[in-house]
Amino acid sequence: MNYRHIYHAGNFADVLKHAVLARLVRYMQNKDKAFRVLDTHAGIGLYDLSSEEAQKTGEWRDGIGRLLEAELVPQVAGLLEPFLTAVRELNPEGGLRFYPGSPKLARMLFRPQDRLSAMELHAEDFQRLHRLFEGDHHARITELDGWLALGAHLPPKEKRGIVLVDPPFEEDGEYERLVDGLAKAWRRFPGGTYCLWYPLKKEAPIKAFHEALQALEIPKMLCAELAVKSDRGFTGLTGSGLIIVNPPFTLKDELHALLPALKEMLAQDRFASQRAFWLRGEH
């Protein structure tokens, strides 16, 4: 319960996660029919980067801060447009003070028919999230362990949805919990699009994690990873990955354009790397 995302809001890992989440939302909107975003570990929803906590680490400066100042080629600018437009809308006077968490970002991109279910277990963070969406009939905010939501809240009544699972990775066994959580959720809602976030750091069990996911035999799983520096001599976060289940058919090509550009903009040393590949399915 010590994890607070305010220390990390807007960092390089958020940039990857939110850029892809925005692409998924836009793709779902190619059809008129409503869909729901289920955010299992939602946080407080909106982050003040001028706060003492955010200033203490300053991680956003090497994430969203770099992105907003970069010159983007047209293709990359188009792919990042929904995400960056939302960030700029939160900062109408220019600069960068406010940054959207996943539930706020999704909500900003919604059409009238789209809906949000956001879960947060931390009592204080839940209260802040609840206040942020108070009176918003498009959003349902629940004080709940997000892992439980993968059973109790699926399938959504809309029968279309994006399920974002972004645990804090404070405890041992979180990679295994992600695999088990996906297995449970997919049995209930096999048609959903899932986006699972995980950290890259020294000695993280990534190979075993990927093999466990492959063993689930879910037909289509796409992986995207971005590392901004070497993990040699460094034990903290060096990168992050996303597993996208039932991805849009356009997403792999989009990632092949987006990831090299993000690596170029966000690299912290010459060992930065990126990759996008099928864990299962199309190759």
List beta partners, residue 224: 242, 276
pLDDT of 6: 80
Phi, then psi, of 50 in degrees rounded to 5: -90, -5
Catalytic residue chosen out of the listed positions 32, 62, 166, 253:
166
Task: Kindly report the pTM of this predicted structure.
Answer: 0.96
Residue 2 has pLDDT above 50, yes or no: no
Q: CA–CA distance from 116 to each of 39, 140, 142 (Å)?
A: 8, 6, 11
Span 142-183, pLDDT tens digits: 999 999 999 889 999 999 999 999 998 988 899 999 999 999
The annotated binding site is made up of 18, 41, 102, 120, 145-146, 166
pLDDT of 1: 36
**For residues 15-33, average pLDDT:** 98
Does 231 qualify as catalytic in the annotation?
A: no
The annotated binding site for S-adenosyl-L-methionine is made up of 18, 41, 102, 120, 145-146, 166
pLDDT of 3: 55
**For residues 224-232, average pLDDT:** 95
**For residues 38-43, average pLDDT:** 96
Question: CB 15: neighbour CB atoms within 10 A?
Answer: 27
**For residues 253-264, average pLDDT:** 98
Distance, CA of 243 to CA of 246 (rounded, Å): 10
Average pLDDT, the chain: 95
* Strand boundaries in 98-208, DSSP class E: 98-100, 115-119, 139-142, 161-165, 193-201
Spatial CA neighbour of 98 closest among 19, 4, 197, 6: 6
